[in-house]
Structure 1
Amino acid sequence: MENEIKVLLADQDQVFLELVKIYLKKTGARIIACNSGEEALSAIRHEKPGIVFMSAALHGLSGLKCCETVKNDPLLEMIPIVLTLTSGSMEQLEACNQAGCDEILRKPVDRHTFFSTVKKYVDLDKRNAPRFKGKLDVRFTLPDGSAVASGAYDISTGGLFLEISNPLPVSSVISVNFVLPASDTEIECAARVAWTNNPDSPAKPAFPSGMGISFVDLPQEWVTAIMDFLHDRNIAPMFKD
């Protein structure tokens, strides 16, 4: 299924694998489980998961080496990798940082820590949210401080799609500002680039060149305002394309 959420788990610790599977059971995410670094690297290349949890101490190709290989590949480097450790010596932490990982977690990993980490990179909560398919006028501020006016589509409480000829890299953080149609509610918040639609290899051919963004820490009052706006237009919940 296009744009389904994939979580790759690479660990020889079966207890950890089963625990994380329980955590993810009701999220709808597709779990890809691997027991070796070689298997994980192959799966990352073919599946391009939304996030990877990988033991730094995998046998054969180590998690450290697998992470380093992924982060040195321009086609894969944007995939978030969380390296897990059974202990946290300074040498191990430094090795993980040198490998280029995005996060480091010490085992055991409790549910709160796991989901707090996942939600930095993957939106598990908004997959089935109602979405407004019309076009909005949006202003957003690029990382260099320059302001850009653009059209936005596919708005939900989780984010929206911005039309832009040169999409920013995945994980870039921007500021967005827009007013809901037929409303005085002005929304301004930070957002993170979750995926891009490049004209040379579009992820969604029906969409223009641009990028899908996820809102960051959207206040509850604005979440409610967006939900009210969607419900007022009788927009039914739908899956992402």
Structure 2
Amino acid sequence: MPQKVLLVDDVNLFLELMKGFLKLSSVHVLTASDGAKALEVVRREMPALVFMDLHMPNMGGDECCARIKADPALKSIPVVMLTADGKEEDRVLCIKAGCDDYLTKPIDRNLFLDKARHFIPSVDRRDKRVPCAAKVKFRVFGITLSGDVVNMSEHGVYVAATCAVELGTTMDLVFALPDGKGSVVQTKGRVAWVNGGSTRLKGSLPEGFGVEFIAMTEESAVAVRAFMTGAGG
């Protein structure tokens, strides 16, 4: 039976974002919009993990977390708090509440899934990928180079190219989706893995590297989602 993960936030956009991160994992996702409702769900459902926003109406995340940790029947449930980036006072509130870990907003997908996997190893970091044959221009090291997109997900692409790039390298990418509309994707990306030379990890793919999208325009994001849906993603 899938383990339960409770997501708590009063902003629906963040709930949907986190649900999207977990969509390929074999977990049962529960949601709540404030601390009071979250406490009810925790007592009733006994989730394996809770991600909870700090500042919410009715009952804040810190109070809810403190009540969970004060209850002998609930205190072993891991609670990861979500805080505003750079606010030290928020971090202190979370620690005082007894949380097991915390994340800052905006929520980074990889960090979110790394935290989830720490507590639930079955959480899957992989994205559903579809073939995508497209020429891509990418600007890196101050020069513009070209390659081929081999496949993609909502969060990144695999680029076939022979140039040497290092893990973590950032770049600007532009390519047209083969969607029959000529939709152009413009985004910044970060090299997430390298598949070339001594670091060749997947022989089934041509030499190249995987890129994670990090700053995509809204227009491009809409086009990518539409392409993935149309391709069965």
The aligned residue for residue 41 of structure 2 is 43
CA distance in structure 2 between the partners assigned to 1:27 and 1:11 by the alignment: 20
Three-state SS of the structure 1 residue aligned to 2:52 is: strand
Matched-pair contact (CA < 8 Å) for 2:7–2:31: yes
Three-state SS of the structure 2 residue aligned to 1:120 is: helix
Aligned pairs (5 A) from 1:102-113: 102-113=100-111
Aligned pairs (5 A) from 1:57-206: 57-125=55-123
The aligned residue for residue 186 of structure 1 is none
1:109 to partner: Cα distance: 1.2
Aligned-residue sequence identity (percent) comes to 35
Matched-pair contact (CA < 8 Å) for 2:8–2:52: yes
Three-state SS of the structure 2 residue aligned to 1:124 is: coil
- The unaligned stretches of length 5 or more in structure 1 are 127-241
Q: Deviations over 1:19-59 (max 9, x none)?
A: 11111111121110100111100000110101000001011
Letter of the 1:101 counterpart = C
Matched-pair contact (CA < 8 Å) for 2:55–2:61: yes
The count of residues paired between Structure 1 and Structure 2 equals 124
CA distance in structure 2 between the partners assigned to 1:111 and 1:44 by the alignment: 24
Letter of the 2:54 counterpart = A
Three-state SS of the structure 2 residue aligned to 1:119 is: helix
Rg (Cα) greater in structure: 2
Q: Deviations over 1:120-168 (max 9, x none)?
A: 1112259xxxxxxxxxxxxxxxxxxxxxxxxxxxxxxxxxxxxxxxxxx
Query: Does the C-alpha gap of structure 1 residues 78 and 14 become closer, same or farther in structure 2, counting only changes over 3 Å?
Result: same
1:83 to partner: Cα distance: 0.6
CA distance in structure 2 between the partners assigned to 1:33 and 1:53 by the alignment: 10
Which protein has the bigger strand share? Answer: 2
1:8 to partner: Cα distance: 0.2
1:67 to partner: Cα distance: 0.1
Q: 12, 15, 20: which one pairs with 2:13?
A: 15
CA distance in structure 1 between the partners assigned to 2:123 and 2:63 by the alignment: 32
Letter of the 1:32 counterpart = L
Indicate the RMSD between aligned Cα atoms, in angstroms: 1.4
The aligned residue for residue 30 of structure 2 is 32
Letter of the 1:81 counterpart = V
- The unaligned stretches of length 5 or more in structure 2 are 125-233
Q: Which runs of 4+ in 1 moved over 3 A?
A: none
The aligned residue for residue 2 of structure 2 is 4
CA distance in structure 1 between the partners assigned to 2:98 and 2:86 by the alignment: 17
Three-state SS of the structure 1 residue aligned to 2:119 is: coil
Matched-pair contact (CA < 8 Å) for 2:113–2:123: no
Matched-pair contact (CA < 8 Å) for 2:116–2:123: no
CA distance in structure 2 between the partners assigned to 1:101 and 1:92 by the alignment: 12
Q: TM-score, normalised on structure 1?
A: 0.50
Matched-pair contact (CA < 8 Å) for 2:54–2:60: yes
The aligned residue for residue 168 of structure 2 is none
